[in-house]
Amino acid sequence: MPTSSRDDEGTIAVLDVGKTNVKLNAVTADGAVLETLSIANPVLPGPPWSHHDLGAIGEWVFSGLAQLARRHRLSTFVASGHGSGGVLVGADPEQGDGAALPMIDYEQAPPEAIRAGYAPLSGSFFDRGSATMHAATHQARQLFWMQECEPQAFARAQWYLGLPQYWAWRLSGVVASEASLLGAQSHLWNVAERHFAPIVDQRGWGRLMPPFADAWQDLGPVRVELARRHGLPQDLRILTGAHDSSLNHYRYHAAGLRDFTVISTGTWIVGFCGQTPLDRLDEDRGMTLNSDVFGKPLGGVLTMGGREFSHVAGHGQPGGPVPEQIVRQLIALETMALPSFGDDNGLFPGSAGQGHITGPKPETPMERKALALFYCALLTAECVEALGAGPLVVLDGSFLRDPLYARLVAALLPGRQVRFNLDTYGVASGAALLAGQRTRKRPAPLSLAEAKDVPPLTTAISNYAAEWRASARRQAEPVFQ
């Protein structure tokens, strides 16, 4: 299979803006990452609230693009971003960082008056796409906060842009809205009915929302003055961009997969399935209604797996993979980590802050790491079962660094075909593949390995998993009764 872009397509520059880090990638048209630059995503204190340093990031992005352009023939730029990021901007991308108000750091709790005032305005589950989550997660709540606390600056703003579209605007000067970003628990867009949530009209935000563009739409070339100032290719084309997890899902769609569930692992365990019936979605169990890059509904599920892993594994985690024998010992001793250790309920309503270990406690760092890995495999299987549809499960993300993780998930899901992708650049690959959406004539290259469930391990896990699920649900609210 081809692994590099054709000469006439050039290389795609992909900006991947995460909560903690920002990455700038050079990627082939077939999705192979050639080079990556990265920087921490800085947060500045208020007033008026903790916010991301868009000015510093911008200078790094433009400088990084110039560096990549010296080593690769860049033809296209596209950005991805997390679903809790948006920027209220003025009319001119040349005016400082372009922001009318600082971009809110979503991990800070809004004032109590904002929390209480927002709740009755947030609409139905389909209007929100999720339960109301912790801190300032949702873009609608961020806009409410800005409008209530900084009304004059808010009134002067021209547009509200999702994070990928903000960077597209900084480079091209063209504004756009995009379905997958607004459909990522923004509480602004009703994915099922394809219209803005009622809060947009109620608060007069419609004027801030640009026309929609497809994620792969060419918004135009890089701004002339920006190209000259930073030495960027003047024919660099700027695409609309999309939500990071939706782009990871698109990567598998572009490779020809259709009836599948994808589970991505990291700080969050994120599950998506395009075949999950809408009436199966349960906001009390961490389930969401997202949008794919085509604007179609994606059943979703979210739980903070990476954070849960850290709580259980603790400090001083040993290097190297977890030995299967230690997991077998945990099963024999009936040692269990039960949710949830952090402040997110995840799949078990009422469990936030209730996490604990039952049975003999793990004594060594490797035993704690093994319990954490096993616990996250159980959470992963719970995510798959919640989404329901589809015999094929695809795993990707950071948990796959330990070879036992995929095997544990396969053992927990004996009726499913579990495959995994060791490539950790799914978002960057998916974003780059947008450039060929209109012209692709064959599926994009993709190599998946099969996670084989070993019968003795499957047998040992079966009873343990049933007891773990029953115990986890017993400590949750009566929704499970």
E strand map for 109-197? 159-162, 189-190, 195-196
Q: Which two tokens stand for residue 229?
A: 């100032």
pLDDT attached to residue 477: 59
Q: Per-residue pLDDT tens for 285-311? A: 999 999 999 999 999 999 999 999 999
Nearest Cα to 160, choosing from 181, 180, 135? 181
Distance, CA of 303 to CA of 309 (rounded, Å) = 11
Distance, CA of 13 to CA of 9 (rounded, Å) = 12
E strand map for 321-453? 336-338, 356-358, 392-397, 417-420, 449-450
Q: Which two tokens stand for residue 219?
A: 């918004």
Distance, CA of 366 to CA of 330 (rounded, Å) = 12
Distance, CA of 272 to CA of 413 (rounded, Å) = 17
Distance, CA of 191 to CA of 370 (rounded, Å) = 39
Nearest Cα to 436, choosing from 3, 24, 23, 31? 31
Q: Which two tokens stand for residue 400?
A: 């796959």
Please list the residues that pair with 359 across neighbouring strands. none
pLDDT attached to residue 476: 66
112 CB-near residues (< 8 Å, 6+ apart)? none
Distance, CA of 15 to CA of 222 (rounded, Å) = 14
- pLDDT (tens, 9 = 90+) of the chain, 481 residues, equals 333 344 456 999 999 999 889 999 999 999 999 999 999 999 999 899 999 999 999 999 999 999 999 999 999 999 999 999 999 999 999 999 999 999 999 999 999 999 999 999 999 999 999 999 889 999 999 999 999 999 999 999 999 999 999 999 999 999 999 999 999 999 999 999 999 999 999 999 999 999 999 999 999 999 999 999 999 999 999 999 999 999 999 999 999 999 999 999 988 899 999 999 999 999 999 999 999 999 999 999 999 999 999 999 999 899 999 999 999 999 999 999 999 999 889 999 999 999 999 999 999 999 999 999 999 999 999 999 999 978 999 999 999 999 999 999 999 999 899 999 988 789 999 999 999 999 999 999 999 999 976 666 777 899 999 999 999 998 765 544 4
Host H or E run for residue 38: strand 33-40
Q: CA 41, 139, 45: angle at the middle one, nearest 5?
A: 40
- At how many degrees (to 10) do helices 324-333 and 365-387 cross? 80
Q: Per-residue pLDDT tens for 49-63? A: 999 999 999 999 999
Ordered alpha helix ranges (H), 270-318: 305-313
